[in-house]
């Protein structure tokens, strides 16, 4: 079951979505990060998951083929989480396993907290907890959330630079350089792999610019400290050893915050990116997690 379609998630808001896998297999929704098209989930990973699931990936607002209209119709980050529910509704999916990366991992937490009846299981990658609960180190010391390791300085420096329109090839160069930083250095960087990924995303989108809408959206009202602590949604947290945006203590903190039925899987060398080398281990980890909690779509 291949091919894209449009799903109305709110009045006048139609998002592009794609499904792969058997229609009667348990649904699995992939939720990408900020300013990232659904095609940011590499085909190799999607196909591995689609051998066992009805896999759905989609373009957030202001990405890919979905509407680019933030300036005319601003929204909150929490609205992006409700969009995910809108995608499930539009595709007649009652419950789904969800996998979220980066901002997508935060949106997944909002779904765990606000719509647990729609979530069969959750996998959280490269993200931080939407909670004010202290982190407890192995030695028992308590660490306030604000004192957990921050984003690598070189990435903050890159994010602070204005994005200039110097043409599509220069934009590809910029995106590849960005992926090099996000990859974290734990695995040899394959520039051509990421260039091909971004070239495909640009072709899919039909434009090569980016508007930074998710960075401008209202991010208030996202904390879910009590709701996450009380959830019964089975959750897997991926600890990426070379993660430069939310370094490994964040994965441990996230598992502590959710607590109930939460497991951690470590992927050596993984950063804040999805190079070929991590796709097999990541697919295996997700499928080992979801097989325990599979339900009909």
Stretch 64-84: mean pLDDT, rounded?
A: 97
Q: Tens digit of pLDDT for each residue in 204-246?
A: 999 999 889 999 999 999 999 999 999 999 999 999 999 999 9
Q: Tens digit of pLDDT for each residue in 84-100?
A: 999 999 999 999 999 99
At residue 259, the pLDDT reads 75
Asked if residue 78 has pLDDT above 90, the reply is: yes
Closest CA to 200 of 70, 62, 41: 41
At residue 293, the pLDDT reads 66
Residue 27, Cα to own-chain centre: how many angstroms?
A: 17
Q: Who contacts 245 (Cβ-Cβ below 8 Å, separation ≥6)?
A: 102, 126, 151, 152, 155, 182, 272
Domains of the chain: 4-293 (3.40.50.1820)
Which residues are 252's β-sheet partners?
A: none
Burial of 11 (0-12, 13-18, 19+ CB in 10 A): exposed
For residues 19, 25, 27 and 31, what is the CA-based torsion angle, rounded to 10 degrees?
-50
pTM: 0.96
Q: What angle do CA 222, 236, 104 make, to 5 degrees?
A: 40
At residue 3, the pLDDT reads 64
At residue 164, the pLDDT reads 87
Q: Rounded to a whole number, what is the largest CA-CA distance in the chain?
A: 52
**pLDDT-based confidence at 296, cuts 50/70/90?**
very low
Residues 80, 239: Cα–Cα separation, whole Å: 24
Q: Give the rounded percent of residues in the chain with a pLDDT score beyond 90.
A: 93
Q: What is the DSSP letter of 293?
A: G
């Amino acid at each position: 079951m291949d091919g894209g379609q449009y799903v109305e998630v709110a009045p006048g808001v139609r998002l592009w979505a794609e499904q792969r896998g058997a229609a009667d297999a348990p649904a699995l929704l992939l939720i990408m990060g900020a300013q990232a098209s659904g095609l940011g989930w590499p085909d190799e990973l999607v196909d591995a998951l689609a051998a066992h699931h009805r896999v759905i990936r989609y373009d957030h607002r202001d990405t890919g083929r979905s509407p680019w209209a933030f300036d005319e119709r601003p929204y909150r980050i929490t609205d992006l989480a409700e969009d995910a529910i809108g995608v499930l509704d539009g595709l007649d999916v009652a419950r789904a396993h969800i996998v979220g990366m980066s901002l997508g991992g935060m949106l997944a937490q909002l779904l765990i907290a606000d719509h647990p009846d729609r979530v069969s299981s959750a996998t959280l990658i490269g993200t931080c907890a939407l909670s004010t609960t202290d982190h407890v180190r192995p030695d028992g010391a308590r660490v306030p959330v604000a004192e957990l390791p921050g984003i690598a300085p070189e990435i903050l420096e890159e994010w602070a630079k204005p994005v200039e329109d110097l043409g599509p090839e220069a934009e590809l160069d910029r995106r590849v350089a960005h992926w090099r930083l996000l990859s974290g250095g734990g695995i040899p960087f394959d520039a051509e792999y990421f260039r091909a990924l971004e070239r495909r995303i640009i072709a899919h989108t039909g434009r090569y610019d980016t508007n930074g809408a998710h960075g401008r959206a209202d991010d208030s009202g996202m904390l879910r400290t009590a709701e996450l602590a009380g959830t019964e949604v089975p959750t897997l947290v991926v600890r990426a050893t070379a993660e430069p945006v939310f370094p490994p203590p964040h994965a441990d903190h996230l598992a502590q915050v959710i607590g109930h039925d939460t497991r951690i899987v470590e992927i050596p060398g993984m950063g804040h990116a999805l190079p070929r080398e991590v796709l097999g281990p990541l697919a295996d980890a997700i499928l080992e997690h979801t097989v325990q909690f599979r339900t009909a779509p």
